[in-house]
Amino acid sequence: MRNVFGRGFDSRRLHQIMMPHVRYRGSWAAALLLAAVCLAAVLPAAAGDQRTIVLDPGHGGLDVGAKGKFGSLEKDIDLAISKKVKALIEQSQAYRVVLTRDKDVNPSLENRAAIANNNDALVFLSIHVNGSFRKKAQGSETFFMSLNATDEESRRLAYQENREQALDKSIAGADKDDIKMILWDMAQSAYIKQSSQLAELIQAQLNSLLGTANRGIKQADFVVLRGVACPAVLVEAAFISNPEEEQKLVDEAFQDNVAQAVYTGLMRFLAAYGKN
Ligand SMILES: [Zn+2]
């Protein structure tokens, strides 16, 4: 009661406001009215006001993403980590979580962004693991969108991640997902500042929880982020192309740590900037 009406709440006063023509006698009717008013005040917060977080496990289907020396595929690890992040978020029941894919399929990059917009997402997180021709490349990094890449390596990575788009078009019907395409070209431009803050908070957690090298926050032109109309980042947890990190990435405890880091960074962002 105190949360809804404040400390000085007086049921007699409320009754007089709601039904001024009826004299207060402490009746059952007053108690019922009060219960109804309280319920109406509390229910929307519990059921209707849940905002949506969209999690996007990279790749899927024929698009396996980056590959490890020991045969691990990026698409499987992206999905496993995303499901762990989903479980963490859902523990509190404060947010609804939508995955752009929950099995081994490959929605097009535009459809992934459209899923975020269709659900009026509060935040969009694309979860990936990295691949490089340099076997020694290691560590985690978090990206937000820019048409101009931070450096040559980021540009190359965005090219690699954007390639799935081309692959999609070669698969008949692959981009005919049963969703309405609500997508605005370059919608992400309006959210660059918030996206950079989100990237910073997630990257800080990855650094402290994973014990991997900090590659920092970077920018590149990721097609999957372009049309998303909310703060959006792309996380590259570690390098599957580095045999040492590949072994970490398939380890359940390491995946739990990645999920925890992403989750904690996200919650800190929502606490600081997610109110509107
Ligand atoms: Zn990827």
The closest of 170, 42, 46 to 108, measured between CA atoms, is 170
In a shared domain, residues 228 and 247:
yes
What was the pLDDT predicted at 180? Answer: 63
How much distance in Å is there from the Cα of 73 to the middle of ligand 1?
10
pLDDT of 6 above 70: no
How much distance in Å is there from the Cα of 274 to the middle of ligand 1?
27
Average pLDDT on 61-77 reads 96
Q: Which domain holds residue 16?
A: 2-45
How much distance in Å is there from the Cα of 112 to the middle of ligand 1?
14
- Alpha-carbon distance of 34 to 30, in angstroms, equals 6
How much distance in Å is there from the Cα of 45 to the middle of ligand 1?
36
Tens-place pLDDT, residues 15-62: 343 444 444 444 555 454 445 444 444 443 444 678 999 999 999 999
Which CATH number goes with the domain that contains 202? 3.40.630.40
How much distance in Å is there from the Cα of 145 to the middle of ligand 1?
15
How much distance in Å is there from the Cα of 26 to the middle of ligand 1?
65
- Residue 140 has phi, psi (to 5 degrees) of -115, 150
How much distance in Å is there from the Cα of 148 to the middle of ligand 1?
19
In a shared domain, residues 81 and 203:
yes
| pLDDT tier for residue 10 given thresholds of 50, 70 and 90 | very low
In a shared domain, residues 166 and 56:
yes
**CB neighbours of 7 closer than 8 A, spacing ≥ 6?**
none
Q: Which of 28-37, 95-104, 191-200, 257-266 has the lowest mean pLDDT?
A: 28-37
Q: Are 89 and 139 in contact (CB under 8 A)?
A: no
How much distance in Å is there from the Cα of 53 to the middle of ligand 1?
20
In a shared domain, residues 15 and 147:
no
How much distance in Å is there from the Cα of 58 to the middle of ligand 1?
5
How much distance in Å is there from the Cα of 47 to the middle of ligand 1?
35
In a shared domain, residues 76 and 37:
no
Q: Are 175 and 111 in contact (CB under 8 A)?
A: yes
Place of tokens 């109406």: 40
CB neighbourhood size of 28 (10 A): 8
Amino acid at 38: C
Q: How far is CA 14 from CA 8, 24, 31, 124, 257, in A?
A: 11, 10, 11, 42, 50
| pLDDT tier for residue 211 given thresholds of 50, 70 and 90 | confident
Residue 153, burial from CB neighbour count under 10 angstroms (0-12, 13-18, 19+) = middle
pLDDT of 245 above 90: yes
Most confident of 139-153, 205-219, 251-265: 251-265
Q: Which of 1-5, 100-104, 112-116, 145-149 has the lowest mean pLDDT?
A: 1-5
Which residues keep their CB under 5 angstroms from ion ligand 1?
Answer: 58, 65, 128, 161
Residue 212 or residue 272, greater confidence: 272
Alpha helices (H) in 7-143, listed in sequence order:
11-18, 28-46, 74-91, 109-118
Most confident of 28-42, 212-226, 246-260: 246-260
- Alpha-carbon distance of 178 to 88, in angstroms, equals 28
pLDDT of 85 above 50: yes
Residue 42 or residue 160, greater confidence: 160
- Alpha-carbon distance of 93 to 80, in angstroms, equals 21
In a shared domain, residues 10 and 91:
no
What was the pLDDT predicted at 23? Answer: 47
pLDDT of 230 above 80: yes
In a shared domain, residues 123 and 223:
yes
Q: Which helix (DSSP H) or strand (DSSP E) does residue 268 occupy?
A: helix 252-273
In a shared domain, residues 15 and 149:
no
How much distance in Å is there from the Cα of 22 to the middle of ligand 1?
67
Tens-place pLDDT, residues 173-190: 444 555 566 667 788 999
How much distance in Å is there from the Cα of 33 to the middle of ligand 1?
56
pTM above 0.95, yes or no: no
How much distance in Å is there from the Cα of 35 to the middle of ligand 1?
52
In a shared domain, residues 37 and 81:
no
Beta strands in the chain (DSSP E): 51-57, 95-99, 123-130, 140-145, 214-220, 232-239
Share of the chain above pLDDT 90, in %: 64
In a shared domain, residues 29 and 93:
no
pLDDT of 228 above 80: yes
pLDDT of 88 above 50: yes
Question: Chain-wide mean pLDDT for the chain?
Answer: 82
In a shared domain, residues 26 and 70:
no
How much distance in Å is there from the Cα of 214 to the middle of ligand 1?
18
At residue 89's C-alpha, the angle toward residues 126 and 143, to 5°, is 25
In the chain, the number of structural domains is 2
Q: Are 217 and 199 in contact (CB under 8 A)?
A: yes
pLDDT of 235 above 90: yes
pLDDT of 95 above 50: yes
- Residue 216 has phi, psi (to 5 degrees) of 85, -170
3-state secondary structure of 41: helix
The closest of 55, 54, 60, 56 to 75, measured between CA atoms, is 60
What was the pLDDT predicted at 27? Answer: 54
What was the pLDDT predicted at 122? Answer: 96
In a shared domain, residues 249 and 215:
yes
